[in-house]
Amino acid sequence: MIKSIFLCSVMLLVFSANTMAHAIRFEVEKHYPAVTVHAYFTKTSPLVDAYVEVFSPGNEEAFQKGHTDKHGFFTFRPDENGNWKVSVDDGMGHFDRVTVEVSDKFFMNEESIKAEEPAKAEETKIVSDDKPEEVKQAEIPLIYRIIFGLSLIFGLTGIIYGIKAKQLLKNK
Partner 1 sequence: MHIADGIIDARIAIAANAVAVAAIYVSGRKTTIEEIPKMGITGAALFVASLIHIPFAGTSVHPGIYGLVGIILGKRAFPVIFTVVLFQSMIFQHGGLLSVGINSINMGAGAFAAWLIWRQQALPEYLRAVFAGFIGIIIPVLLMATEFQLSGYGRGILYLFSIYILAAVVEGVVTLSVVKFFRRIKSDILT
Instruction: Give the interface with partner 1 as residue ranges (CB under 8 A).
Output: 1, 4, 12-13, 15-16, 19-24, 41, 45, 47-51, 87, 89-97, 131, 134, 137, 142, 145-146, 148-150, 152-154, 156-158, 160-161, 164-165, 168
Rounded to whole angstroms, how far apart are CA atoms 163 and 94? 38
Q: Of 39 and 106, which has the nearer Cβ to partner 1?
A: 39
Rounded to whole angstroms, how far apart are CA atoms 116 and 21? 45
Q: Of 21 and 108, which has the nearer Cβ to partner 1?
A: 21
Q: Of 110 and 162, which has the nearer Cβ to partner 1?
A: 162
State the minimum distance, in angstroms, from the CB of residue 102 to partner 1: 20
Q: Of 33 and 66, which has the nearer Cβ to partner 1?
A: 66
State the minimum distance, in angstroms, from the CB of residue 31 to partner 1: 27
Q: Of 31 and 131, which has the nearer Cβ to partner 1?
A: 131
State the minimum distance, in angstroms, from the CB of residue 23 to partner 1: 3
State the minimum distance, in angstroms, from the CB of residue 104 to partner 1: 27
State the minimum distance, in angstroms, from the CB of residue 11 to partner 1: 10
- What is the dihedral angle through the alpha carbons of 44, 50, 55, 60, rounded to the nearest 10 degrees? -140
